[in-house]
A and B are shown apart, each in its own frame.
Chain A
Amino acid sequence: MAQKTFRDFLDQLEAAGQLRRLTKPVDPRHLSALGNQATTACLFENIKGYPGWRVATGLVSTRARLALAMGCAENRVGFAFEEKIGRPIDPVTVRTAPCQEVVLEGDDVDLTAIPLPLMHLFDGGPYIAGTFVVSKDPEHGLNVGSYRLMYRTPRETSIDLVSPSDMRFYYQRALDQGRPLPIAVAIGVHPLDMLAASYKAPIDKSELALAGALHGAPVEMVKCRTLDLEVPASAEIVLEGELLPIGWTADEGPFGEFSQISGDVKWNPIFRVNCITHRRDPIFYMLQMPWENDWLAAPVTEAAGIQALRVASVQPVDIRAPVGSCGYWTLIASIRKRPGEGKNAIAALLSVAEVKLAIVTDDDIDIHNPDDLDWALTFRVQADRDAVILTGARAKHIDPSVKSWELGKGGLPTTAKLGIDATIPEGVPKILYRRIKPYAKDRLRLEDFQ
């Protein structure tokens, strides 16, 4: 099996009736407004002022399209992700690559040659979101993540590096030594690659091998033209450059965040671009916020929850990171419970990244049905006994309730976390939860009486 590409997924979407081609000229400042109205993914084929360029958006802005990318049922994306990443496949290096059909260096480097979109009303500038960023630390090795870039000048962007991440750690180490951090930014990779980039893998785990696991085939990488780094060979566009050793000093934002909020101005490093490579007929990927980001986050959060439950010896039956919490801040899980495991499960789920609300139910509850979940919360919970609160845990800046504006530049916020054990309490007979059911329902059919 071969690794799938960004273009393969566009073809797959089109075959599934999930891609709309738009052929009339569209100004880059209007791409977001138009893409946001579509119920399918969009491929803009005629970008005003940018002959030869196309722009794709909305590839995974529904759970159904994400499931299509993953090749699984909608309600199994977390389990599918968790199962696949257990079988990492190392990348392979190729000598030539579509992403280097055009190479621009020196005075030819000009970010304005790319149709950078103005995405949201209060954004601080045009943005590149949906990136696959590769960096390397002399001691800790390669890292892949996804970070947004705000256009500043034809050769510079700011980069959002406020949250804790391996690349932030790498950058801090480089900054401490007064040196820049080389990075390569790939744009237009398959959603499975984006999922691997989104996954908060331990620092010694390779996101590239995880991407291979998701594809079921090694990811083909090619050496950068100006850096000692490799990038996905099938990418549409690659920006090679360095994070300048200036610390968190450049204004960045606001940006329409994945929290569905227009964030505030942040202070971040600057990315200087020294080389741009791309395909001869490049397709720029405009990741549509918040939905694409949120649906990409959900399976990663769900898989982390499954793993945490298993480490705690709790058996997960179903799990959901709701899109209302951006696929990120809330985990709801049903478990096959033994005495005490409702609380164990809460402790496990609240250990996941920035999850700040965890709800645990028994496996008779359909956690995808809000009415069923409400029922469990109503009749199986006593707040003084079943609510668990942790304080002072790690948080993200974009949650306004953590008051990150009170921190200094580069400071990290903390948060409180809430867990609710909505399993049947120990000592309460299960018979008290016997659901009502019409007599003879299984034997009679309404149609037979018309």
Chain B
Amino acid sequence: MSPLASQMVETLKATPKHFHEVVDDHPDVPWRDLLRAWGEVRAADILKRNDAGQYYIAPS
């Protein structure tokens, strides 16, 4: 997993976030890099959703 994707994973383990909050965490990252990293997190099949639509990762 790329460093950016790993960073997203750690953040989502700590706090549920809407997708836009994930985006806001990385305002200077080129959009395509951000989408690729998000795709890595998605592909890992670890994301869960809460009732508000936020993403989170349950602690392992």
Contacts and interface: CB of A to CB of B under 8 A. Distances in A.
A27 B39 CA distance: 19
Contacts of A264: 51, 53
B23 to A, nearest CB: 6
Query: 10 smallest A-B Cβ distances: which pairs?
Result: A153-B39, A112-B35, A254-B53, A28-B31, A152-B42, A265-B49, A112-B32, A49-B30, A251-B49, A153-B42
A305 B38 CA distance: 44
Contacts of A248: none
Contacts of A151: 35, 38-39
Contacts, number: 57
Contacts of B47: 251
Contacts of B1: none
Majority-rule SS of A interface residues: loop
A96 B19 CA distance: 40
B24 to A, nearest CB: 9
A49 B18 CA distance: 24
B49 A122 contact: no
A123 B20 contact: yes
Nearest to A150: B19
B10 to A, nearest CB: 19
Contacts of A121: 18, 20
B31 A152 contact: no
A123 B19 contact: yes
A242 B43 CA distance: 18
Given A112-B32, A124-B49, A151-B35, 16 more contacts: A27-B31, A28-B31, A111-B35, A112-B35, A115-B31, A118-B23, A121-B20, A123-B19, A124-B53, A152-B42, A153-B39, A153-B40, A153-B42, A153-B43, A154-B39, A265-B49
B20 to A, nearest CB: 6
Nearest to B48: A251
A125 B23 CA distance: 10
